[in-house]
Structure 1
Amino acid sequence: MLTYDVRIWGIRNRDSKSAPFQLRWRVGDRKHQEPFRTNALADARRSQLMSALREGEQFDTETGLPASELRERNSPTWYDHACAYVLMKWPRAAAKHRAGIAEALTTVTVTLVASEKGMPPKGTLRRALLTWAFQICRAEGVLVARKDAEAVPQAEAAALAWIAKSSLKLADLSHSDRLRAALTALSLKLDGTAAADNTFRRKRTTFNNALRYAVERELLSVNPLSRIDWEPPDTEDEVDFRYVPDPLLAARLIDAVGQQGQRGEHIEAFFGCMYYAAMRPSEVAALSGKACVFSDEADEDAWGELVLFESRPEVGAGWTDDGLPYEQRGLKRRARKATRSVPIPPVLVRMLREHRRKYGTTPDGRLFRAVGGGRVRSTEYTELWQRAREKVLSAEERETPLAEVPYSLRQAGVSLWIKAGVDPVEVARRAGHSVAVLFRFYAKILRGVQHHANELIGRALADQGG
């Protein structure tokens, strides 16, 4: 029990050759004592206790220690706390968020060790943390770490035993050099190059929240990260538009996908949605027939509309509650039942009509399916994309990042809207971005549009004699 009822007495001599000086004090109704070899050591210890008393600390009646010392003595390791944090967050976190938490904590945990002596290969250690310590499963109706429910392979088990022994105590994280090392690790990719700014911010948030949880559990008195003045290395978040396909190239690539047999024909409209509607792959994977709002089929030049309400991001089966390799959820960064309306041009209307006529929908209403009927996997559509790239691009272009990944179609679609003069707020709404994100990633194009707008305003002023 903690109390302010403390009295510290003077130092007295005792009949002992090894420790002839004794410090005595009382906490509540319990007396405590500590022997020392020299009077100077005893006096230094007395000064520590007096300082804690003057600063208003409570003392523990059982051990006689100030609360801060008791906290440090009982402090769990960072690894133990990280495991507890994952277990606390798991039930209410989305599958993608669970994986993100585990990734950030893995990076930090590998760094926050007392010594690297005997450290297992970092690949093995990361795998052990990511898929065994920081992945949760249900055993006999209770959520537990996977390492506590299943047999861990020998190499990973040895790695977890090492980190359990070598991990720093939470109380040691008050040293700024430890925190700076962790922040540096979060700001880098595995190859040592700088991570994207938004990736660092996401991982830092996880680290900060884990430390806040330590304060909540009264394992730390304050969050030590709040006093660290540290900024990550500058990174370039803007899309490199040298390698974003223009409208002609985008159309040729989509067409080349459709020429790759039956699977290519099925996936062609998938890529059409990514370009003409600037949809995320996870949104296209969840696109249902009832999301398509089209006018009279006889009018081939009529625009249509997609009312998006669902997303199926790809994530490992170990991160979902149902064991599926994807998560069924609402739109990114929106309320669960929120929708987003995206007007689509006639070319995409025709593609989707033809696709639905030819392939119908899945039993749950989706337009696109894998060979086995489930969600279209990224490995499948990426393979088709690479074949299209081989066919359309020159050998020299293939050596560059030009249209390197399917996601470049979404970037190309957003770029087209901006260049066409669509208001940036409307572009952001259609793409499912915030305006701030749009300006950060598409700043170069937006600056070009603003320059053109300035010229128009300048001409108007000149015509009026301004």
Structure 2
Amino acid sequence: MKSREVRVRSIQVNALAGRKKSYTVRWVVAAEPKSRTFGTRALADNFRSDLMQAANRGEAFDADSGLPDSMVKPEESVSWFGFVRRYIDMKWPGAAAKSRESTTDALATVTAALVRDVPGQPDPALLRRALREYEFPPAARKLDRPADIAAALRWLDKASQPLTALAEAAVVRPALDVLGLRMDGRASAASTTRRRRSVFYNVLQYAVELELLDFNPVDKLRVRSARRKVVAEVDRRVVVNVGQARELLTAVTYVGQRGKTGRRGERLQAFYACLYFAALRPSEALGLRERDCHLPKTGWGMLTVEKSRPAAGKRYTDSGEVHDDRGLKHRGETEAREVPIPPELVAILRGHVERFGVGADGRLFLSERGNVVASSTYSRVWEEARILSLPPDRAASPLAGRPYDLRHAGVSLWLNAGLPAPEVAERAGHSVDVLLKVYAKCIDGDRSRMNERIEAALSA
């Protein structure tokens, strides 16, 4: 829609503490406020002058972009939806599968919200599914699309905001708010909100890099409410002691119906044992191969951890498998780490290999069909083992609530046994700084012993 009802206002100076000044040109087209922010006063003055000259010439202004025809560049026709596809195609080749998944989650959420009022809007959940499963993953664009998915994407093509509209705070602010919400309207976890907003910011920064936007609009927005803290420290309530860990590992073997190869839980006992005694991440344990294991008949053994099999989804991996095949977290593609393992874990692993064998590629932990064990499978088995092993009050508590908590318990055990932090960090695959930050509340967890030391100091 075009309109000649235009009022150009004065330039607003934005001077947030600790940030460089920016300058916002404000104007109104057909009662709709518009704005564009620039990094220098000169750029803002030139843009405002162009607006005023066009208005004085009697040019009609576009109600969506807020610009007269004489100021519309070819880039103005780029929609947010089209630009996001361009961004994903640029990022996809070098990204890990989990990064691809989190990127598409963030961009599907915000793209479904950055739309104009066009008749026929589909359900937001359907629109997000269409983007995540059929449009954003490049390989998925070749798949046959159900009629409702195809209709939703056709609507989005028409309704998506122009990229230039994101120069306006009134457009960007609601988009940031949506990134902090779940589909049911409740607040997302603080870590999820931060991750999604980081992706959104990076897409806008890419638009600035390509000179499609003059300024990243997020930089001029104040945080509306206090940031929720992203919890990085391990909650000491989830950490089991040695006795509890052994009871849980025993309980695992009673989970599932007994079949030709034993119960389902029996196939996974050694998997959970690696998480506790070697403090492996679940994805690292899933990537463990027979050649990575030095398992002597007596004494300590050694695991050479080289591979990781994180679950991401078929649409996000290059292989088309559910699990990605990657190197270790925070390390080079071919870099490995060595983890000494106690005789107890050596015996468990030797027994596992003798009873269940290994896969064609040497992997230790397989499903009954020979595939990588799904995270849903080892999580369900763990839930049942907790109910079998723990008293009702403990089972209702956070204690070892997830298989990953076994890793936390293993690292905490090493720290409280007096191992130097650099050695623990090397075995766990952390930096020393991250190790001490994450496990700060788990170091020297014996409060009674600490209280005795304080009492002795007070009575001295």
Same fold? TM cut 0.5: yes
- Residue 49 (structure 2) aligns with: 51
- Residue 112 (structure 1) aligns with: 114
Aligned equivalents of 2:449 and 2:81: distance in 1? 55
- Residue 172 (structure 1) aligns with: 165
- Residue 255 (structure 1) aligns with: 250
- Residue 240 (structure 2) aligns with: 245
Q: CA deviation at 1:221?
A: 2.3
The reply to whether residue 376 of structure 1 matches residue 373 of structure 2 is yes
Q: CA deviation at 1:81?
A: 0.8
The reply to whether residue 234 of structure 1 matches residue 229 of structure 2 is yes
Equivalent position amino acid for 1:84 in 2: R
Change (3 A) 1:130 1:50: closer
Structure 2: runs of 5 or more not aligned: 5-44, 53-66
Q: CA deviation at 1:209?
A: 2.1
Equivalent position amino acid for 1:403 in 2: A
Contact 2:167 2:213 in 1 (8 A): no
- Greater Cα offset, 254-263 or 307-316: 254-263
Matches for 1:123-272 after TM superposition, within 5 Å: 123-137=125-139, 146-147=140-141, 149-230=142-223, 232-260=227-255, 261=258, 262=262, 263-272=264-273
Aligned equivalents of 1:396 and 1:199: distance in 2? 30
- Residue 338 (structure 1) aligns with: 335
TM-score, length of structure 2 as denominator length: 0.76
1:257-300 Cα distance to aligned partner (Å, 9 max, x none): 123442322211000001111111111111011111244x1x3x
Q: CA deviation at 1:452?
A: 7.9
- Residue 279 (structure 1) aligns with: 280
Equivalent position amino acid for 2:110 in 1: V
- Residue 399 (structure 2) aligns with: 402
- Greater Cα offset, 368-377 or 233-242: 233-242
Structure 1 vs Structure 2: percent identity of aligned residues?
Answer: 42
- Residue 354 (structure 2) aligns with: 357
- Residue 27 (structure 1) aligns with: none
Change (3 A) 1:412 1:364: same
1:373-430 Cα distance to aligned partner (Å, 9 max, x none): 1211222222221221221123333333332222221122222223223333333332
Q: CA deviation at 1:371?
A: 1.0
Q: CA deviation at 1:160?
A: 1.6
- Residue 307 (structure 1) aligns with: 304
Contact 1:253 1:392 in 2 (8 A): yes
Change (3 A) 1:173 1:389: same
Change (3 A) 1:309 1:266: same
- Residue 56 (structure 2) aligns with: none
Aligned equivalents of 1:105 and 1:222: distance in 2? 20
- Residue 430 (structure 1) aligns with: 427
SS at match of 1:373: coil
Equivalent position amino acid for 1:135 in 2: P
SS at match of 1:325: coil
SS at match of 1:343: strand
**Structural RMSD (CA):** 3.4
- Residue 40 (structure 1) aligns with: none
Aligned equivalents of 1:398 and 1:116: distance in 2? 51
Q: How many residues align?
A: 394
Change (3 A) 1:389 1:181: same
Aligned equivalents of 1:274 and 1:135: distance in 2? 32
1:323 paired residue among 317, 320, 323: 320
Structure 1: runs of 5 or more not aligned: 1-18, 20-46, 55-64, 138-145
Contact 1:283 1:311 in 2 (8 A): yes
- Residue 416 (structure 2) aligns with: 419
Aligned equivalents of 1:176 and 1:446: distance in 2? 46
- Residue 442 (structure 2) aligns with: 445
Contact 1:421 1:449 in 2 (8 A): no
- Residue 100 (structure 2) aligns with: 98
Contact 1:195 1:235 in 2 (8 A): no
Q: CA deviation at 1:450?
A: 12
